[in-house]
Amino acid sequence: MFVGHYGVSFAAKGVDARIPLWLLFLAVQAVDVLWAVLVLLGIEKVKLIPGITAANPLDLYYIPYTHSLVAALSWSALAFFASLRWRRPTSVKAAVVVAAAVFSHWALDLLVHRPDLPLYDDAHKVGLGLWNYPRLSFVAEVVAVAAGMLIYARARRRDAPPGRLGLTVVGGALVIGNAIFYFGPFPPSVGAVAVMVLASYAVFTAAAAWLESRISAGASRGR
């Protein structure tokens, strides 16, 4: 998935409002951020093979350190303990939510990837292949984001109008980014893909921080 992961971020924020939304945006894409870095370092391997899926040309043939089930569980456990130490007092509930957000990446990727997600190391690869149906997978991502935003909005029903406006702007940006990913031109090289991933996620994380700043400002004026 691409932006569909952010539906989990919004839903998780609805579950525990103390967790910064920007942190949840980073958590759900942590696996891909690590993947992009390891690809740039030459540690994980990917090739561009047009037609390997209908949605994109990514042949993710060696991704054991980020996208195996064991790796995803390990990164989630690390996120749990890091959350407990990051800002005290931090509740166990908040740490569990962050860890679940990290792991959700693998669970959602399972839906869209071809069988290239290893269960451990580089073995026993799985994937349900929704990327072979780009229109369906595009709609699934938009629905995931919309559902998460609905949970978030209901949990923050008393937000000031600037918060609702900001939510609309961020949601629209995510949908546009998703459309570019599915139907726009794909980066011409593996390195360009990794850079695009890092840049996109940085922009989306900054947008989440901006959204919460607008909500906080609107709440302050409403007092």
Task: Give mean pLDDT, residues 85-97.
Answer: 81
pLDDT tens across 189-205, in order?
999 999 999 999 999 99
pLDDT tens across 144-180, in order?
999 999 999 888 765 555 567 788 889 999 999 999 9
pLDDT tens across 39-62, in order?
999 999 999 999 999 999 999 999
Q: Domain range holding 115? A: 5-222
Domains: count for the chain: 1
**What's the Cα-to-Cα distance from 91 to each of 17, 18, 76, 95, rounded to whole Å?**
12, 10, 16, 7
Measured N-to-C along each axis, helices 134-155 and 161-183 cross at an angle, to the nearest 10 degrees, of 170
pLDDT tens across 5-34, in order?
999 999 999 899 889 999 999 999 999 999
Q: How far apart are CA 86 and CA 92, in angstroms?
A: 12
Give me the numbers of helices (H) and strands (E) for the chain, helices first please. 8, 4
